[in-house]
Amino acid sequence: MKRKGLGFYLRIYGKILAQDLKSKMSYRADFIISTIGMIFTNIAGFVSFWILFRNFPSINGWSYHEMLFLYGFSLVSLTPVQCFFDNNWSLRMYVYSGDFIKYCFRPINLFFYYQSEVFDIKGLGQLAFGLGTLIYSWTKIGLGFTPLILLKRVVFLLTASLIMIALQNASAATCFWIQNSFYVMDLVLKFKDYARYPITIFSPVFRFIFTFIMPIAFIAYYPSLVILRPNEVPLLSWLSPLIGCLFFWISYKFWMFGAMKYSGTGS
């Protein structure tokens, strides 16, 4: 048996993805309707945001465009979790019905095999919307496009994505212990909306929770500080790439621990 490295997994993922897209395209109505749905969801989110700022010109010293920046940032950083890890939402069903056992018999990483099965194409609409918002606010704030700032941008976007993925993995994996993890996942999904706002507007208690327990402040706020407020960057911002990797690793271990404990239902 040859060693299975990153190249092996990327090749497999590429092939599954290609096949999956091919079969998705064959359901044209479903594809179009879900794309339209995604666009409207994004527009609705944006409109409520816009109404808020019609009434308050700034929140806690953050201007409209800066807030828009945070908003776009959170949308873009949510794309990977939406595209690549959407199968987490079905996990509780597979576990409950016992179908999860079918993933246990392949000679490849269980977590990879499970997540690779679904690629959610709707995430791409969100990505386009988020990028548009980000670039618009970027030019309005007048941040400029130097290679360094771009590099920072990419690194911190990846960080934010990792944290979002970690949150979802961990909340989905609770279904290995409790019957219905939907409520946990839904709770996390709702909290994630707070990621769009600067954490300083919350009370100290929530600031603590959003930083250390449910680290949604790392999805947009801490990473954005590096670009928006280069003079007042707290240490936590610089540490966030590391924290992102750490949280992802912990959530992966937690997920795998649950999966290894899984024993299926009778047949």
Partner 1 sequence: MSAIIQIKNVTKEFKVLNRREGLKGSLKDLFSRDYKIVRAVDNISMDIEQGEIVGYLGPNGAGKSTTIKMMTGVLEPTSGEILVGGNIPYQNRAKNAQEIGVVFGQRSQLWWALPLIESFKLLKDIYQISDSDYKSMMHLYQSLVDIEPLLHKPVRQMSLGQRTLSDILAAFLHNPKIVFLDEPTIGLDVSMKSKIRILINALNKEKNTTVILTTHDMGDVDALCRRIVIIDKGKMLYNNDIEHLKGFFGSYRTLKIRMDGDLKQQAEVIQKELPDFSVSADEEWISVLVDEEKSKVMEVLNQLQKSHEIRDMQLEEISTEDVIKKIYEEGVE
Residue 48 CA from chain centroid, whole number: 21
Contact present, 216 and 191 (Cβ < 8 Å): yes
Stretch that binds partner 1, among 60-68, 96-104, 176-184, 186-194 (CB under 8 A): 96-104
Stretch touching partner 1 by CB under 8 A, among 70-78, 101-109, 176-184, 250-258: 101-109
263 counts as binding partner 1 under rule CB under 8 A: yes
Which residue from 102, 183, 212, 242 is in contact with partner 1, where contact means CB under 8 A?
102
Beta carbon nearer to partner 1, 136 or 252: 252
CB 110 within 8 A of CB 104: yes
Nearer to partner 1, 28 or 54 (CB): 28
Question: Are 23 and 31 contacting, i.e. CB atoms less than 8 angstroms apart?
Answer: no
Nearer to partner 1, 13 or 136 (CB): 13
Q: Are 81 and 164 in contact (CB under 8 A)?
A: yes
Q: Which of 5, 57, 107, 204 binds partner 1 (CB under 8 A)?
A: 107
Residue with Cβ nearer partner 1 (14 or 230): 14
Q: Nearer to partner 1 by C-beta: 15 or 36?
A: 15
For 39, 64, 194, 264, the CA distances from 56, given in Å and listed in that order, are: 26, 9, 17, 53
Binding window for partner 1 (CB under 8 A); candidates: 67-75, 106-114, 119-127, 171-179: 106-114
CA–CA gap between residue 210 and residue 77 (Å, rounded)? 17
Token code pair at residue 57? 């010109």
Q: How far apart are CA 214 and CA 191, in angstroms?
A: 9
256 belongs to the binding site for partner 1 (CB under 8 A): no
What residues line the site for partner 1 (CB under 8 A)? 1-2, 11-12, 15-16, 19-20, 23-24, 98-99, 101-102, 104-109, 117, 262-264, 266-267
